[in-house]
């Protein structure tokens, strides 16, 4: 399905991209077919100083002058080079209906929760609001088992401390918690005081097991304009991308005993809510409700390549089912991690794994070492 929440020109027309697909049965042995292009065929500029990973629950949060330099930084000029490389190729004609045909408002503690979700121009723009009464959210009517999902978002401007703006997939409706068996793939954007940068947090829950956070700064101001946030979820891996640049890969290591998201269909969801107990400076900076309502904007949404759970997708019918990062994608991923990642659960900065970090951490690091 494709919903034109805000029409944008088609821009994923590059000849080369960061992805590759495994050879299908009909291809010659050793042949690799390229997936859809989302990144220009050039090396991302390595501008900016490499960031030291944060190792403390509070210092990794949005603090100025912290001991790991997590937010004492400038916006990188790399935005001019690689932002807007993947505006959604969704037109008004392809949208095929209104917002309410594909989505439903599911959250807003109000006699009329739809009042907290402003659907503008037939769904070309959707605004979620948060105040001291309630946040708000919407979700897709369909559930999907694998797919590629992109949402355009513009985050809360100004003083957004304590707020959390999200785009995610989940197999379970709210409330959700650790150990309840659900699957989930998250983009979460952690607000900050005026003048300080957002943190983008990614997370994966597999069969109820989470605590797989990775946090990044962004190479642009996410409050100034819309940007594309993409989740590619297939049987091989989950790839998180921002404006076509891969920032994280969670691989399927089921054969090594690591749970993966293989069997539970998930809905696409978006929300804004109050997380002042932990979001900004580890909860030391609270939400300033005098600035409410806080408004997050959602533009175009695309799930046209996703598989509805009641149907099946073969690799031949859906080439993205075997897509993974190629050499260019690996290089772009390394650039994002080296320059913008500030926290990795595999380093256990919050000391939540007394028996050792999850198995996938060691597996991935051994695989990376073998490439060096």
What is the Cα–Cα distance from 235 to 316, expressed in whole angstroms?
14
For residues 234-257, give the mean pLDDT. Answer: 97
What is the Cα–Cα distance from 136 to 125, expressed in whole angstroms?
15
List the catalytic residue out of 148, 184, 196, 328.
184
Q: Which of 4-8, 217-221, 283-287 has the lowest mean pLDDT?
A: 4-8
- Residue 114 sits at φ, ψ, to 5 deg, of -65, -20
List the catalytic residue out of 20, 60, 148, 188.
188
For residues 261-279, give the mean pLDDT. Answer: 96
For residues 195-220, give the mean pLDDT. Answer: 94
What is the Cα–Cα distance from 19 to 269, expressed in whole angstroms?
25
Q: How confident is the model at residue 340 (pLDDT cuts 50, 70, 90)?
A: very high
Residue 184 annotated to the active site:
yes
Residue 318 or 287, more confident: 287
For residues 266-275, give the mean pLDDT. Answer: 96
Domain ranges of the chain: 2-371
For residues 87-99, give the mean pLDDT. Answer: 41
Q: What is the largest CA-CA distance in the chain?
A: 63
- pLDDT single digits (tens) 8-23: 322 332 233 566 655 4
Q: Which of 11-15, 103-107, 311-315 has the lowest mean pLDDT?
A: 11-15
Three-class DSSP labels, 220-289: CCCCCCCEEEEEEECCCEEEEEECCEEEEEEECCHHHCCCCCCCCCEEEEEEEEECCCCCCHHHCCCCCH
Q: State the architecture of 2-371 in CATH terms.
A: Sandwich (2.60)
Q: Has residue 63 got a pLDDT over 90?
A: no
> Could you tell me if 150 and 314 are in contact, meaning their C-beta atoms sit under 8 angstroms apart?
no
Residue 76 or 197, more confident: 197
- pLDDT single digits (tens) 18-50: 666 554 333 322 222 233 322 333 333 333 333
Residue 255 or 2, more confident: 255
């Amino acid at each position: 399905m494709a919903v034109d929440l805000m029409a944008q020109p088609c821009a994923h027309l590059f000849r080369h991209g960061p992805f590759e697909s495994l050879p299908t049965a009909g291809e010659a042995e050793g042949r690799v077919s390229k997936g859809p292009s989302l990144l220009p065929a050039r090396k991302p500029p390595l501008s900016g100083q490499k960031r030291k990973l944060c190792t403390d629950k509070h210092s990794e949060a949005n603090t100025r002058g912290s001991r790991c330099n997590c937010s004492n930084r400038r916006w990188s000029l790399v935005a001019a080079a690689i932002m807007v490389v993947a505006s959604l190729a969704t037109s008004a004609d392809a949208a095929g209906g209104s917002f309410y045909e594909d989505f439903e408002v599911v959250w807003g503690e109000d006699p009329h929760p739809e009042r907290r979700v402003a659907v503008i121009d037939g769904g070309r723009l959707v605004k979620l609001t948060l105040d001291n009464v309630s946040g708000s959210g919407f979700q897709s009517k369909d559930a999907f088992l694998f797919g590629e999902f992109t949402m355009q978002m513009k985050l809360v401007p100004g003083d957004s401390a304590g707020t959390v703006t999200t785009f995610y997939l989940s197999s379970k409706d709210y409330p959700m918690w650790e150990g309840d068996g659900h699957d989930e793939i998250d983009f979460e954007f952690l607000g900050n005081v005026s003048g300080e940068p957002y943190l983008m947090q990614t997370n994966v829950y597999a069969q109820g097991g989470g605590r797989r956070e990775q946090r990044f700064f962004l190479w642009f101001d996410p409050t100034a304009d819309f940007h594309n946030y993409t989740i590619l979820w297939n049987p091989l891996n989950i790839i998180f991308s921002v404006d076509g640049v891969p920032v994280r890969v969670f691989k399927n290591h089921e054969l090594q005993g690591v749970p993966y998201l293989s069997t539970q269909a998930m809905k696409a969801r978006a929300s804004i809510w109050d997380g002042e107990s932990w979001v900004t400076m580890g909860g030391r900076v609270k939400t300033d409700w005098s600035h409410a309502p806080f408004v997050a904007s959602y533009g175009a949404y695309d799930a046209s390549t996703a598989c509805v759970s009641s149907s099946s997708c073969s690799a031949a019918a859906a080439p993205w089912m075997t897509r993974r990062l190629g050499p260019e994608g690996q290089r772009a991923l390394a650039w994002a991690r080296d320059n913008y990642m500030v926290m990795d659960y595999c380093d256990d900065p919050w000391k939540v794994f007394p028996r050792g970090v999850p198995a996938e951490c060691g597996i991935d690091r051994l695989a990376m070492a073998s490439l060096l």
